[in-house]
Amino acid sequence: MKAAIYCRLSEEDRNKQFETDDSNSIQNQKAMLLQYAMEQGWEVYNLYSDDDYTGSDRRRPEFNRLLEDAKAHRFDVVLCKTQSRFTRELELVEKYIHGLFPIWGIRFVSIVDNADTANKGNKKSRQINGLVNEWYLEDMSENIRSVLTNRRQNGFHIGAFALYGYKKDPDQNGHLLIDEEAAAVVREVFTLFSQGYGKTAIARMLNDRGIPNPTEYKRLHGLRYQQPKRKNSTLWKYFAISDMLTNEIYIGNMVQGKYGSVSYKTKQNKPRPQSEWYRVEGTHEAIIDRSLWNRVQSMIAERAKPFDCGTVGLFARKARCANCGYTMRSSKNHGRHYLQCSNRHVAKDACTGSFISVEKLERMVLDELNRLAAAYLDKDELERSIEFCENLQGQKKQLLDTLAAYEKRIAEYTKGLRDLYMDKVKGLLNDSDFSALSKELSGERARLERVLEDGRRQLGSLEDRMAVGDSRKDLVEQYVNQKHLTREAVEILIDHISVGKRIPGTRDVPIEIHWNF
């Protein structure tokens, strides 16, 4: 028998009551699990260890590597200290421990809470462990959220890093102090803009002098900041200057909560409306005085233009530089509109600089659309129908498999509720435990039933499409032989366009169109 040992240490484990308390350390987990494996006579295949990750984080690198190796059946047993070290989510308990591991022939063992899939009798214990861990996650999330909300409302800074120009006060938690080295750059940016310099010009001036941008500045000062893995990510850009010029933190006001988490089960964030931001005035020393701030805001307002959905904004957010991958910006010269790489002018050799007129790009897109449409519409009707139906048949099969999996899990929850009731009748569960567990299982079953109903509606819609025919034909025909594109057509048809640098000695600009169909 080959065993895979999995250990996990989260940030909350580090906040121990006593410095000598090492019960949750990675070293302690490894020693305990290696000893147990030796006693069972198991060969240790590999040791997977995630440091500083919560039990609800599905992006744990070693956790996902273990799952890949389990799927390939490179070992026979997954061994953990507790079930919560593997996951705190009931959904993943059901998916892997009770679902895929048995299919892959993998046994799951956690030694402290006696979870063992080889013992059919303790499945309820594993489910109860999963429910308790799930409740722990939810309660902890709510507690943390309420504490952070209170601190935001009182003007305390709660971010992992201070805004560029400031540093965290080592003597007062949540208070910001001016970082003079970076603050000098902030003052220069505001002054230059007030003197009439544009945002791109300011970025280029800073790059020419070798001044590191905010992310690179954090890294150079030893802060554990994850550098974006993009070309030229250490350079100042137009958007960094733009964001700086409108950030009220530079005049001493604390503004937080611009983004909020989608769920406690994910680290994904989404923008929040401005009415829900937390804004407290006068929480720290200002870098920019009010007169300069007001002058800059007035200039920004004067330069602001409403979004143009006509020719200027035709390819807005759709055109990207083929060399560096950044979104191209629009410009105007002698009445004609152009698209150019946003890195083109921020620094020497930052990018070779893609450049194309909007008129030329529109013509190239229309020509390609008409060519594709002609090739598509000239295909034999039977051939097109077969190709289309095969595609939808594959989607239908995948959806049917998903619905079958949901139905199976609903049946398992129904059986679990019956088993809980029998345990209550036999006196194995008291009334309060039965009430809590049955409520959780009933809620999860109801959620799955709603998901199943949505899936059945999707299946009906899919079958209707198969009966009617290929709707893409109508979509393509709608835009064939058009003289001009509209913004609506671009949004519907195009995901993005990669624009290269003009071929020397010609007027040709290579483009690659990524369609939505």
Contact 329, 238 (CB under 8 A): yes
The pLDDT of residue 431 is 79
The pLDDT of residue 185 is 94
Alpha-carbon gap, residue 291 to 289, rounded angstroms: 6
The pLDDT of residue 259 is 74
Alpha-carbon gap, residue 336 to 58, rounded angstroms: 49
Q: Report the DSSP beta bridge partners of residue 355.
A: 340
Q: Which two tokens stand for residue 384?
A: 């097109």
Q: Which two tokens stand for residue 216?
A: 């690179």
The pLDDT of residue 142 is 62
pTM confidence score: 0.43
The pLDDT of residue 73 is 92
Mean pLDDT, contiguous 10-residue spans, the chain (517 residues): 88 48 66 89 92 79 93 93 83 84 90 81 61 59 67 82 91 91 94 86 87 89 63 76 92 85 59 83 93 90 54 73 80 82 65 83 87 64 50 71 83 83 78 80 80 77 59 58 77 84 87 80
The pLDDT of residue 16 is 44
Instruction: List the Cα angle 7/8/10 in 5-degree steps.
Output: 160
Q: Which two tokens stand for residue 252?
A: 């001493």
Three-state DSSP string of 103-149: HHCCEEEECCCCEECCCHHHHHHHHHHHHHHHHHHHHHHHHHHHHHH
What is residue 439's three-state secondary structure?
helix
Pairing of strands 336-341, 328-333: antiparallel
